[in-house]
Amino acid sequence: MAENQNLGQVMLLPEGATRLLGRDAQRTNIAIAIAVSNVVKTTLGPKGMDKMLVSDLGDIVITNDGATILEEMNVEHPVAKILVNVAKSQDREVGDGTTSVVIIAGNLLKGADELIEQGIHPTIIIRGYKMAAALAEKTLNQYSGKADINEDAVLKKIAMVSLGSKNIGEAETKQHLSEIVISAIRAVTEKNQKGKFVVDRDYIKIEKKTGGSIAETSMISGVIIDKEVTHPSMPRYVENATIALIDAALEIEKTETDAKIDITSPEQLQGFLQQEESMLKEMADKIKNSGAKVLFTQKGIDDVAQHYLAKHGIMAVRRVKKSDMEKLAKATNAKVVTSLDDLTKEDLGVAGIVEEKKIGGEQMVFVEECKNPKSVSIFVRGGSQQVIDEVERSLEDVLGAVSATVENNGMYVVGGGAIEIDLADKLRQYSGEVGGREQLAIQKFADALESIPKTLAETAGIDAIDTLVQLRNKHKGSDGRKYGVDIFKNSVGDMESMGVLEPTKMKVQLIYSASEAAEMILRIDDIISSRSKQGGGMGGGGGMPGMEGD
Ligand code: ADP
Ligand code: MG
């Protein structure tokens, strides 16, 4: 059948129609992995291009982010899905390096394919790759510089390199975004019991609204809640706000089955309503008596309770997400109280300003100027949805790169392909010591790492082979180890003095993710189409877009 020529479709044939075995299965899988890696390749580095992804419905995503491209590509083949998952897990673990991970994985498979062709068994290649990854990690740690993480200098360089490959504004704007990210990370960084720095990125909330320019993106020392103040006569601006966080409704509980109440006279009805009203008033009074000027509740607020809160001059916001309540607690130092009766002055948090602002036609509540907040927000602005989406993705990368450095005692390596040249060199030396057939795999691993400087040269339009040769020679000299691809001058240059620094932790993660993906794909020697499972199994999607699970 003609479909067989399109490798990506083999898996999609009806049940039992196709079975690929042994070498055929491997060839197919590797070809697909290389094809996927070629797609993202052109986006690598500051000279990399963006991809525009257009869905059936015409939704447009413009991005440079490897994980996003793969995710949006709607790839059906299981091997491609493995790569999507690798990029995603790199994204989760360190936030940055998603393009590199796919490029390296593709090249590891390309190398493996050549070795299999020479009759080397995949299990030997896998063993060699594992040895290579372990040595690469050791070497990365050995060759790392160590930054003082109490100072901004190195962190700022790392942030700028991570942002450098994103097409979002001029250098000045990127400086501004870098500073925002570093302040945000400083705010949420804590020392754990072992004295290790931990950055909980969950407490850095990114809120975005179209309008304004990227340069107007700002850090809020507190939390932005995408909700409005519940009642028109409540205050919209509260200074030195005392804040109550409640996980309880200011409503009269209706019993489960809508309990029937027999009301036989108008007096009884009147009495019943009055009783309800006084209960709701009491709830509002409890908030007031605690001393709170602002109330956030995870649940609802009855109209009558709203009325009394407004009368007391209290600003209230209802149906706040649980995750936002946690952030508010961290930012204002309040305690979330589950019963109104328990609310005391000690539970309240504090913020310099709580204000409802109208942004792009929608109301949002800004809880700002918190003192020493352990949860902060970044408010992203930009001209269109595509722009703010890409700014958000880029900020995620930078947040990942900077926190990877902070959490790893400030360890960094030199980028621009420089460290990959060193690693390749070390691996080639090592392969000689290892001997056996594994040494061939270790050499292929070295080649795969060099695909990074090679690709950087290609995106800059410089001859890749010449560049590699120059870099290898430079690195043999005593002062040349910091040399990488100078994509702006179309030559090689000292990356350290140019400030091209990257977190060691990101590179370590990248190497393990890429080699694990390659190993996983190499182990497959049989592709059988299977029955569709809910959420999509291997090859089960049957060409129906949107069926595949995460
Ligand atoms: P990834 O998704 O893998 O992070 P990027 O598009 O961000 O991909 O590109 C990262 C690569 O670009 C890294 O190898 C990094 O060292 C390189 N790079 C970044 N800035 C520069 C620069 N100014 N000069 C040379 N290389 C750079
Ligand atoms: Mg990057």
Cα-to-centroid distance, 299 and ligand 2 (Å):
40
The pLDDT of residue 93 is: 87
Mutate to test the pocket of ligand 1, among 83, 99, 165, 421 (most ligand atoms within 8 A of CB): 165
d(C-alpha 215, C-alpha 178), whole Å: 12
The pLDDT of residue 258 is: 57
What confidence tens digit (pLDDT) does each residue in 515-548 have? Answer: 999 999 998 876 766 666 654 444 333 333 333 3
What confidence tens digit (pLDDT) does each residue in 354-377 have? Answer: 999 999 889 999 999 999 999 999
Name the token pair of 299.
Answer: 């649940």
Task: State whether the beta carbon of 377 lies less than 6 angstroms from ligand 1.
Answer: no
Given the residues 65, 347, 422, 425, the one annotated as active site: 65
Which ligand 1 atom minimizes the distance to the CA of 64?
A: 6
How far apart, in Å, are the Cα atoms of 226 and each of 132, 253, 349, 390?
48, 26, 19, 20
Answer whether residue 250 shows pLDDT above 90.
yes
Answer whether residue 66 shows pLDDT above 90.
no
Which ligand 1 atom minimizes the distance to the CA of 484?
A: 25
Cα-to-centroid distance, 22 and ligand 1 (Å):
37
b/e map 216-231, b = 16+ CB within 10 Å: ebebbbbbbbebbbbb
What confidence tens digit (pLDDT) does each residue in 254-308 have? Answer: 654 455 667 778 888 888 888 889 999 999 999 999 999 999 999 999 999 999 9
Task: State whether the beta carbon of 415 lies less than 6 angstroms from ligand 1.
Answer: yes
Range in 25-29, 74-78, 168-172, 463-467 the model is least confident about: 74-78
State yes or no: is 447 an active-site residue.
Answer: no
pLDDT over 70, % of the chain: 91
- Which of 43, 46, 323 minimizes the C-alpha distance to 174? 46
Q: Which ligand is nearest to the CA of 501?
A: 1
Cα-to-centroid distance, 164 and ligand 1 (Å):
7
Residue 23's pLDDT band, with cuts at 50, 70 and 90, is: confident
Which ligand 1 atom minimizes the distance to the CA of 98?
A: 2
Cα-to-centroid distance, 163 and ligand 2 (Å):
7
Task: State whether the beta carbon of 235 lies less than 6 angstroms from ligand 1.
Answer: no
State yes or no: is 550 an active-site residue.
Answer: no
Mutate to test the pocket of ligand 1, among 412, 420, 500, 507 (most ligand atoms within 8 A of CB): 500
CB 105 within 8 A of CB 112: no
Given the residues 98, 230, 467, 504, the one annotated as active site: 98
Task: State whether the beta carbon of 66 lies less than 6 angstroms from ligand 1.
Answer: yes
Q: Is the dihedral of CA 245, 247, 253, 258 positive or negative?
A: positive
Backbone angles phi, psi at 342, to 5 degrees: -85, -10
The mean pLDDT value for 425-452 works out to 96
Backbone angles phi, psi at 30, to 5 degrees: -65, -40
d(C-alpha 5, C-alpha 494), whole Å: 46
- Which of 346, 345, 363, 362 minimizes the C-alpha distance to 354? 363
CB 385 within 8 A of CB 208: no
Which ligand 1 atom minimizes the distance to the CA of 96?
A: 4
Name the token pair of 246.
Answer: 């409640």
Residue closest via CA to ligand 1's atom 10 equals 45
Residue closest via CA to ligand 1's atom 14 equals 416
Cα-to-centroid distance, 505 and ligand 2 (Å):
13
The pLDDT of residue 540 is: 36
The better pLDDT of the pair 232, 62 is held by 232
d(C-alpha 166, C-alpha 188), whole Å: 25
Q: Which ligand is nearest to the CA of 421?
A: 1
What confidence tens digit (pLDDT) does each residue in 108-153 have? Answer: 999 999 999 999 999 999 999 999 999 999 999 999 999 998 899 9
Indicate the length of the chain as a whole number: 550
Residue closest via CA to ligand 1's atom 20 equals 161
How far apart, in Å, are the Cα atoms of 28 and each of 117, 240, 324, 524?
14, 65, 46, 11
The pLDDT of residue 548 is: 36
What domains are there in the chain, each with its CATH number? Answer: 13-146+413-535 (1.10.560.10), 148-220+376-409 (3.30.260.10), 223-372 (3.50.7.10)
Cα-to-centroid distance, 201 and ligand 1 (Å):
22
The pLDDT of residue 261 is: 66
- Which of 185, 110, 166 minimizes the C-alpha distance to 405? 185
d(C-alpha 73, C-alpha 290), whole Å: 53
- CB within 8 Å of 530: residues ≥ 6 apart: 15, 537, 538, 539, 540
